[in-house]
Structure 1
């Protein structure tokens, strides 16, 4: 799987693009271009074909222009990726009034991030430990922190809670996307996979040798009609994460 890293571009150029502090006009006689149009085309390529397919040439093809014309607006792919990230970060809803207190607010944030990964699976292929310091990322981070502001946590704990929730959603979304892509990537449906492995299931279903695995595996299979249910994993895990945060908050009272 292709893995890209945020923050690889030239800092000054990336920040200029992210905050749109400068943008050259398109050349006369060429199709009108802008940073926004280029970034949108790049997101469309990544959504449809995956991050491995993203290149300046491929974006230019989608726009119907020469590759070199893009460099009038975007220095290169690293800077383009940073702006792509910040652009999609701007898609998450940020309602100011969420009934139910901090727990409901965190749940709303988790669901928005879950939906964002499902719309743009390529986000899971970007290592973003070095955050994109753009306006949408900053606004998103500020909004998410305010969900747990004033509930008795220290500033570091507030940051850690947001990191915890975000990390859980990232992992759950990766599992969901991988499950969805399994058929197209392997050429085999879940039913075909189970059918081909049926002769060997008796080995792991032997209640004498593996009593716990046999019992639990049978129960899960009957409940999910599969070995794994991404939706259940997300819902169950999210509530357990929030339970842990609630225990922390209660300990501060």
Structure 2
């Protein structure tokens, strides 16, 4: 199953309890005029901090300060940051919604919609890329709903259960990699390092040492791609091109009856 990692450490039993609704009751007395603390408010504030400043900004003390509460009061609701990150991750995944039912849409459209949704979600919450892995998924309702929808897209197509899981894992892995590359490009741009400015600064020096006769393909193809993208790399194009090629391969697998291709 593809998904999001549970960070190292933490209390697995408490994490499952929090993910599936066994969380804490609100505190009886609000502090500083705020509404009573509860897990939902804590998670919402933590996600907001992570979106704005990155996962390193999320600490029990910082979240408590944002809520106008004492740090120790948060531990009534969540044991620590490890468990909090799990719940944050599943909460974000729960915002992925299934596309409207379309009786005409086939498996390709459904998988493409799922992959695009995940890609855009990770771009909107880049801190999630710091906890992404395939080996230890968060086992919450948001992650399970995502997995169920993705599997439903390839149900009844002649693939084995293992092949269905492998298709979902393949697309999730691709979406994560593409989102990570997009996040890196966005981070550079946010620091004022626009691709066009970077190229203008380095091109005169590179042209002095680059020999197009020695690297003819790199010269020709690189120039063509750079002219098309107006950059060395275009995240959206890379995602759409890669997704289409992956879906082509999955289509070949389906046409082959789920058997390994020669």
- In the comparison of the two structures, how many residue pairs are matched? 249
CA distance in 2, matches of 1:204, 1:180: 29
Flag structure 2 segments of 5+ consecutive residues without an equivalent. none
CA distance in 1, matches of 2:30, 2:229: 58
Matched, 1:51 2:55: yes
Q: Which moved more, 1:24-33 or 1:67-76?
A: 24-33
CA distance in 2, matches of 1:19, 1:172: 30
CA distance in 2, matches of 1:52, 1:252: 47
Q: Which residue matches 1:12? A: 13
Matched, 1:236 2:237: no
C-alpha displacement of 1:195: 2.0
C-alpha displacement of 1:138: 1.1
Given candidates 214, 217, 222, the residue that maps to 2:222 is 217
C-alpha displacement of 1:201: 2.5
C-alpha displacement of 1:127: 3.3
Matched-pair contact (CA < 8 Å) for 1:24–1:73: yes
Flag structure 1 segments of 5+ consecutive residues without an equivalent. none
Q: Which moved more, 1:115-124 or 1:201-210?
A: 201-210
Matched, 1:183 2:184: no
CA distance in 1, matches of 2:6, 2:195: 32
CA distance in 2, matches of 1:243, 1:29: 56
Matched-pair contact (CA < 8 Å) for 1:204–1:214: no
Partner secondary structure for residue 127 of structure 1: coil
TM-score by length of 2: 0.90
Q: Which residue matches 1:170? A: 176
Closer/same/farther in 2, CA of residues 246 and 81 from structure 1, 3 Å limit: same
CA distance in 1, matches of 2:142, 2:149: 10
CA distance in 1, matches of 2:208, 2:156: 54
Q: How well do the aligned residues superpose, as a CA RMSD in angstroms?
A: 1.7
Q: Which residue matches 2:126? A: 121
Greater RCO, 1 or 2 (C-alpha within 8 Å, sep 6+): 2
TM-score by length of 1: 0.93
Given candidates 64, 88, 94, the residue that maps to 2:92 is 88
Q: Which moved more, 1:226-235 or 1:203-212?
A: 203-212
Closer/same/farther in 2, CA of residues 22 and 180 from structure 1, 3 Å limit: closer
Matched-pair contact (CA < 8 Å) for 2:23–2:77: no
